[in-house]
Amino acid sequence: MSDVAARPFPFPLDPEHAALIVIDMQRDFIEKGGFGASLGNDVTRLQAIVPTVARLIGVCRSANVPVIHTRECHLPDLSDCPPAKRERGKPTLRIGDEGPMGRVLIKGEPGAEIIPEVFPIEGEHVIDKPGKGAFYATGLQPILDELGITQLIFAGVTTEVCVQTTMREANDRGYECLLASDATESYFPEFKQAALDMIAAQGAIVGWVATTEDIARALA
C-alpha cells in the first residue's frame, strides 16, 4: 500500500489489487480524418496526451498492474447501436458510414483500432463497448472479478464522456477510482476541468484525481 498525492486527499493505492483502464484511445477519436474531427473537434488536444498515456501504461506494466483497454465500437450490422445514438446531431459522418479510415466506429475497421503508440501487448484485455461506459453490455466485470481488482486507475478520452461515465459505473460497483489528470483529455478544455472537479468533489464522491508523475512515484 502506498499513498498517491491526489485530490481531494491522498489515494491509498494497493498495486496488488489495482488495474489501469485506458479508455478509447482510438484512431477515430484521436487522428485527423476520424469521427472526432468530422464533428468539428480539434483532435490535437487529444494527441497531446498520447506520450503521457504511454508513460502511464509503461509504469503500470513495470509494476505488474494489469492494463485493460477499451474501444467504443459497434457490430457491422449496427444491431447494438440505438437509432438515438446514430442519428443525433448533424455530423458529416455517422456511425457506420464509410470514412477515411473505414466505416466509422465499426468493430474491425481501421478507425476503431487503438493508436499504435499505446497499442495493447499480448495478454492485455481489450473491451469492445457499444456505449459510453465500459461496464454496459461488456465482459469487463468478470475480468475484474477474476483478477481480484478493487481499485481502478483511469486514463484516456474523452474526460467528460466515456472516462467519467465508466468511473461513475465503477464507483456504483464499489471500486475505488483514481483518474490520471494529465493522461485524459477532452475536445473542450472547460469540460475536462469541470469533470475533474465533479469527480473529486464532496470528498471524492466519484473518485480521486492525480498526475501521472504522482502515480508513478507511488508505484516505484
Active site residue ranges: 24, 129, 162
**C-alpha dihedral, 1 to 144 to 21 to 115, nearest 10°:** 140
- Provide long-range contacts, Cβ within 8 A and 24+ apart, for 136-142: 136/169, 137/80, 140/68, 140/70, 141/173
Question: What one-character-per-residue DSSP string does 47-60 give?
Answer: HTTHHHHHHHHHHH
Beta carbons of 5 and 200 less than 8 angstroms apart? no
